[in-house]
Amino acid sequence: MQTAFRLKLTPVKEPLGFVKVVELLTAVLAFGTCGGYTGRNVVSIFCGGSSNETLSPTFTYPFRLNQELLVENTTLCNRTVAATHLVGDSSSSVEFFVAVAVLAFLYSMVALLVYLGYMHVYRDSDFGPMFDFVLTAVFAFLWLVCSSAWARGLQTVKDATGTAGIESTLALCRDNVKCEVTDYASMRSLNISVICGFLNLIIWAVNAWFVYKQTRWHSQKVNAQRGPNPAPI
């Protein structure tokens, strides 16, 4: 069997290779829209008769909110306020999400290289398609798990940095002082990352079918359904 590299673009024009290109791009989009994120909300504190105060808590990837300062030791509305951190920790979910996205990107690159240069070896062996199918199915499952976890983690970030979350965290806001988030950081890119995660789930599940058709499991099933060839008369 010839194992030399033979560059052919034909697989990219077929569903097997084309979907792999889409997987590569959506994986980049998934981790690129949440990794390195920095947001800042503006919290207005209405002191009543005295002048109002403003806080600007910042939260960044990987969203260990319990390490992000909401306010340092200071005086607000003529009252002493102890250093207070935001509440919550979404680091495990977002880091898991990014790890799956990066691994999916790397595997897509390797698989695409095999499709373009070693498709003759890939189709002549049993191991290649079966290994490809198992990994594709595993990644589809991982996308389901990590996207669900990150969607929940993102909601935790939104709750902790919203008005209700600030009021429950800052003791001053529970003492007849009105606190309100008057300017929200844009979380559009984080919302896009969650959408990309579930989009990747669909794409990888679809691709699993195309890869399955390359395996001997599919060919054996087709041959069994056709039955034995009739003997010539």
Residue spans of beta strands (DSSP E) within the chain: 38-40, 42-46, 53-55, 58-60, 69-71, 74-76, 79-81, 84-85, 178-183
Decide if 23 is inside a domain: yes
Q: What pLDDT shows up at residue 233?
A: 47
Decide if 162 is inside a domain: yes
Decide if 4 is inside a domain: no
Report how far apart, in Å, the C-alpha atoms of 220 and of each of 213, 226, 229 are. 10, 10, 14
Decide if 57 is inside a domain: yes
Decide if 226 is inside a domain: no
Q: What pLDDT shows up at residue 195?
A: 97
Q: In total, how many domains does the chain have?
A: 1
Decide if 227 is inside a domain: no
Cα separation, 81 vs 69, in Å, equals 13
Decide if 75 is inside a domain: yes
Decide if 225 is inside a domain: no
Per-residue pLDDT in tens (0 to 9) along the chain, 233 residues: 566 677 777 778 888 889 999 999 999 999 999 998 999 999 999 987 667 889 999 999 999 999 999 999 888 888 888 999 999 999 999 999 999 999 999 999 999 998 898 888 887 887 888 999 999 999 999 999 999 999 999 999 999 999 999 999 998 888 888 899 999 999 999 999 999 999 999 999 999 998 888 887 655 555 555 555 554 54
Residues spanned by the domain of 14: 9-213
Cα separation, 131 vs 78, in Å, equals 67
Nearest CA among 213, 219, 218, 204 for reference residue 27:
204
